[in-house]
Amino acid sequence: MAAMDWLDQVKWDAAGLVPVIAQEQSSGDVLMFAWMDREALRRTAESGRAVYFSRSRQRLWPKGEESGHYQQVHEIRMDCDNDVLLLKITQHGHDPSIACHTGRHSCFFQRHDGDRWTSVEPVLKDPAKIYT
């Protein structure tokens, strides 16, 4: 097998993307969901740092390029259907770690409570101070 054959095993969607979940290795917390294209996945595997594809910016997005909150990747896993990736990461740049652009530890900070959504994680750093 050629060195890049592993990328061909991923089931890319019609836009050439695959969904990615970032999970904190130490706690097991699910920190965020994002997308990767082939180049983002290749760069992530080569560098050991998470690189995503930003659909809003239509370009590669090295996590932490603006905030400094980068992700060290320990493992890249693929699900049984080859259409979802899981990154086991360590989030760097702030203590406690911040993965969400809202200044929270996790992007999954809203919990369904009856007929509404409730924020259940505190803002650790004001986003206006992160993205200056």
Residue 2 DSSP symbol:
-
- Whole-number percent of the chain with pLDDT over 70: 97
Any idea which residue has 């004001």 for tokens?
126
pLDDT value at residue 2: 56
- 24 has a pLDDT exceeding 60: yes
Could you tell me the residue ranges of all domains in the chain? Answer: 16-130
User: Is 90 strand, coil or helix?
Assistant: strand
CB 97 within 8 A of CB 105: yes
- Average pLDDT in the 77-102 region? 97
Domain 16-130 classified CATH 3.40.50.1010? no
> pTM value?
0.93
CB 67 within 8 A of CB 124: no
